[in-house]
């Protein structure tokens, strides 16, 4: 377990296979060829997630970034079984949980939980904080009566709320506090894996840091593994060990955080990173920004070829015909782009 | 401000400033006392004068419906054929009707029947409509399609037809009317609840409950329906007067509560036949009916505002 604790700082890569080779241990979560299509009506199929493959190691923070509507949230929700995947496999700790039911599903629910994006919509306005946090305890029959009370207090204190808050209703809290309640709810079952779905995007900047720090503390304290979904590249860099970049339902680049930010390979990632402002006016002025042209195309019935080609400054004829697979361009650095064939 | 105006000291000196104390632990303390959902709703409700007046009227009518028929020693069915259409007197407080029955006693007896019909048929509506609509909205897709088409078909059948059919099969009576109202009325409730649930199930708290492992029933009955309660309750308070009015209408066309039982509707019906000679026979039950209708409508409006968390202050 000691290897887990050091996961906060990225370690040098051992040049093994494409999978994260940080410790050489088996990944906690493997996602293979995950697809999720939504049928919108006759012949209109929204390809929300299209053939996404990655894996997450124990104790790691895996960042997932991309524009709005690129399928990040769908990936997170499908992973936890909130949506039924159209195709692909989800393997958690060696077990296939893609279509898990009954006992296996319940066990998975106790080990993997989710933090939601909108702290205003993710708490039932009719329930007290105690009932919100305690719901998981009731569902999984983990604690009753005084023990339940006790556990709820522990959880509230763990996330920086006080036990007096237990009898309050969600609308009495600020956004940051609500997000803490959401975190307490996710932690109630003592999970080891959390999908944090843009947990800070709805918060004020001043509160964002608090929540991110709380997540980081909890990770250390409880040996958690995160998938951190966000569109704030700076926050992702701060928190993640590895980052996957999504575009229109597909993973276009995947690398260690430092590597990715130092040397983005995919033209889309380059564009994204170039949009991040540098907090130094002189550097900001002198640098060459690469501004992406055009709009994100519709994910409904996408044609063949690379989905980024319409906006790609370096598109080649092949890009219109063949969809580039995600493959290793450098050791541990995967990219889906014909420029690196 | 005054400093500048006096012109002595245009820029305030640093000594005038005292740093405000800031306690991190108390930064986001909640000062407000703990207030439960219903207490809060009641607080909001009380502010609405019309709604409060409506509630008071309803409570008074309710009390009178319980004790009224026993107040002056007559009962609703005893006839006194030597004393027809008697004017109000110390003995018969509101006079007597065509068969010499005490109008005061019959009035409150009729109000009791009317209120019971309203409440029972609203309860039936609620039970069938909320569950049906909840299931339809929650599961969505094909289930929803099939269930809502059934509702559409039922909605298309004229309600009078169902009532008359039921009357034929079961015979006219108290329960027949309730059943008839319930069978036709739940459709509106089902649609309403379905729409509400359809919207709420996409909320992240419903997803969060799923992620925690809550069963469909738990999500529907613990999260979605309670959160639709405002809409449901408002609809119920507006269904009750609808049912009362419906009963009055059925009585008026001769399909209502059979004699010697009385409802406000049957009283209005027999009153209107003699309204030129004995206007009181019509006015008394009509006023009672109107008060009940207005009361429920005001209470319904007040509840709508009081139960909507978005309007909370």
- Weakly modelled stretches of chain A, pLDDT under 50: 1-24
Least Cα separation, residue A137 to chain B (angstroms): 9
Could you report the per-residue pLDDT of A102-133, keeping only the tens digit for each? Answer: 888 889 989 999 999 888 888 988 888 999 99
What pLDDT sits at residue B181?
A: 83
Average pLDDT of span B280-307: 86
The pLDDT, as a whole number, for residue B7 is 52
pLDDT of residue B25: 59
Domain boundaries, chain A: 2-7+24-125+191-340
- Residue B201 pLDDT more than 60? yes
pTM of the full structure: 0.78
Q: Is residue B26 part of a domain?
A: no
Architecture of domain A2-7+24-125+191-340 in CATH? 3-Layer(aba) Sandwich (3.40)
Write down the pLDDT at residue B1. 46
Give me the pLDDT at residue B261, please: 80
- Identify the pLDDT of residue B312: 54
The residue among A103, A121, A181, A189 with the most chain B CBs within 10 A of its CB, best to mutate, is A121
Cβ atoms of residues A110 and A189 within 8 Å: yes
Of A105, A116, A176, the CB nearest to B204: A116
For residue A75, the model assigns a pLDDT of 92
For residue B218, give the chain A residue with the closest CA: A139
| Range from A321-335, B88-102, B154-168 that averages highest in pLDDT | A321-335
DSSP A18-75: SS--SS-SPPSEEEEEEEEEEEEETTEEEEEEEEEEEEE-TT-EEEEE--TTSSHHHH
CA distance A281 to A291: 18
A338 vs B22: which has the higher pLDDT: A338
| Residue contact A82–B218, C-beta within 8 A | no
Residue that the structure tokens 């808050």 belong to? A165
For residue B236, what are the domain limits? 56-76+91-311
How large a percentage of chain B has pLDDT more than 70? 90
> What are the CA-CA distances from residue A106 to residues A190, B190, B210, B220 (Å)?
13, 32, 11, 19
What is the pLDDT confidence band of residue B71, given thresholds at 50, 70 and 90?
confident
Q: Do A168 and B213 touch (CB under 8 A)?
A: no
Pick from A49-58, B23-32, B163-172: least confident: B23-32
Q: What is the pLDDT of residue B65?
A: 83
Q: Compute the mean pLDDT over every residue in chain A, rounded to the nearest whole number.
A: 84
Q: List the helix and strand counts (H, then E) for chain A.
A: 11, 12
Domain count for chain B, please give it: 1
Q: Distance from B133 to chain A by nearest Cα, in Å?
A: 20
pLDDT digits (tens, 9 = 90+) for B226-244: 888 888 888 888 888 888 8
Contact criterion met (CB < 8 Å) for B30 and A172: yes
* pLDDT value of position B309: 59
CB contact under 8 A, A126 and B213: no
Residues of B in contact with A188 (CB under 8 A): 212
Q: The CATH number of the domain where B306 resides is what? A: 1.10.3720.10
Q: How many C-alpha atoms does B20 have within 13 Å on its Cβ side?
A: 4
Three-class DSSP category at A332 = coil
User: A90 forms bridges with which residues in the sheet?
Assistant: A31
Domain contains B18: no
| pLDDT (0 to 100) of residue A8 | 40
pLDDT value of position B6: 52
Q: Which residue of A has its CA nearest to B24?
A: A160
Condensed to tens digits (0 to 9), the pLDDT of residues A313-328 reads: 888 888 888 888 888 8
- Lowest-pLDDT range of A22-26, B12-16, B27-31, B168-172: A22-26
Q: Is A211 left (phi over 0), alpha (psi -120 to 50) or beta?
A: alpha
Cβ atoms of A90 and A96 within 8 Å: the answer is yes
């Amino acid at each position: 377990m000691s290897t887990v604790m050091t996961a906060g700082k990225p370690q040098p890569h051992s040049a093994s296979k494409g999978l994260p080779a940080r410790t050489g241990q088996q990944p906690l979560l493997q996602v293979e060829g995950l697809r999720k299509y939504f049928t919108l009506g006759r012949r209109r199929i929204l390809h929300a997630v299209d053939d996404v493959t990655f894996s997450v190691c124990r104790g790691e923070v895996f960042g997932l970034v991309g524009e709005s509507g690129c399928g990040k949230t769908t990936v997170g929700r499908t992973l936890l079984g909130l949506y039924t995947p159209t195709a692909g496999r989800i393997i958690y700790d060696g077990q296939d949980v893609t279509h898990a039911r009954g006992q296996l599903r319940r066990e998975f629910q106790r080990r993997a939980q989710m933090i939601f994006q909108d702290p205003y919509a993710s708490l039932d306005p009719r329930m007290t904080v105690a009932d919100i946090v305690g719901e998981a305890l009731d569902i999984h029959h983990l604690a009753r009566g005084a023990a339940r009370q006790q556990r709820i207090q522990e959880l509230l204190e763990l996330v920086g709320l006080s036990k007096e808050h237990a009898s309050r209703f969600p609308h009495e809290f600020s956004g940051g506090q609500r997000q803490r309640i959401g975190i307490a709810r996710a932690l109630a079952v003592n999970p080891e894996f959390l999908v944090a779905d843009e947990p800070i995007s709805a918060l004020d900047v001043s509160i964002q840091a608090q929540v991110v720090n709380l997540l980081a503390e909890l990770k250390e304290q409880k040996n958690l593994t995160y998938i951190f979904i966000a569109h704030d590249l700076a926050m992702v860099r701060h928190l993640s060990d590895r980052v996957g970049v999504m575009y229109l339902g597909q993973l276009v680049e995947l690398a260690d955080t430092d590597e990715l930010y130092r040397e983005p390979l995919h033209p889309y990632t380059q564009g994204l990173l170039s949009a991040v402002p540098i907090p130094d006016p002189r550097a900001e002025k002198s640098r060459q920004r690469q501004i992406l042209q055009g709009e994100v195309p519709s994910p409904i019935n996408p044609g063949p070829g690379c989905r980024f080609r319409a906006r790609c400054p370096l598109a080649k004829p092949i890009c219109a015909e063949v969809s580039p697979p995600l493959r290793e361009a450098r050791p541990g650095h995967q990219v889906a782009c014909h420029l690196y064939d | 401000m005054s400093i500048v105006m006096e012109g002595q000291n245009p820029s305030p000196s640093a000594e005038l400033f005292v740093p405000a104390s800031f306690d991190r632990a108390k930064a986001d303390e909640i000062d407000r006392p703990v207030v439960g959902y219903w207490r809060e709703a009641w607080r909001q409700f009380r502010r609405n004068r019309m709604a409060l007046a409506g509630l008071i009227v309803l409570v008074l009518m309710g009390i009178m419906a319980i004790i009224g028929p026993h107040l002056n020693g007559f009962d609703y069915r005893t006839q006194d054929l030597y004393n027809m259409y008697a004017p109000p007197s110390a003995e018969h407080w509101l006079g007597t009707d065509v068969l010499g029955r005490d109008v005061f006693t019959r009035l409150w007896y009729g109000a009791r029947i009317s209120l019971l019909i309203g409440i029972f048929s609203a309860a039936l509506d609620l039970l069938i409509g909320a569950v049906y609509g909840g299931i339809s909205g929650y599961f969505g897709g094909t289930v929803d399609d099939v269930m809502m088409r059934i509702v559409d078909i039922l909605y298309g059948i004229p309600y009078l037809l169902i009532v008359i059919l039921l009357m034929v099969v079961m015979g006219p009576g108290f329960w027949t009317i309730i059943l008839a109202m319930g069978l036709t009325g739940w459709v509106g409730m089902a649609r309403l609840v379905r729409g509400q649930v359809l919207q709420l199930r996409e909320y992240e708290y419903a997803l969060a409950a799923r992620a925690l492992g809550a069963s469909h029933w738990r999500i529907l009955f613990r999260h979605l329906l309670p959160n639709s309660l405002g809409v449901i309750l408002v609809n119920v308070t507006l269904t009750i007067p609808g049912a009362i009015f419906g009963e009055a209408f059925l009585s008026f066309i001769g399909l209502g509560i059979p004699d010697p039982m009385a409802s406000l509707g049957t009283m209005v019906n027999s009153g209107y036949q003699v309204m030129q000679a004995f206007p009181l026979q019509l006015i008394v039950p009509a006023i009672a009916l109107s008060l009940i209708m207005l009361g429920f409508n005001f209470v319904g409006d007040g509840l709508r505002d009081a139960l909507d968390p978005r309007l909370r202050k």
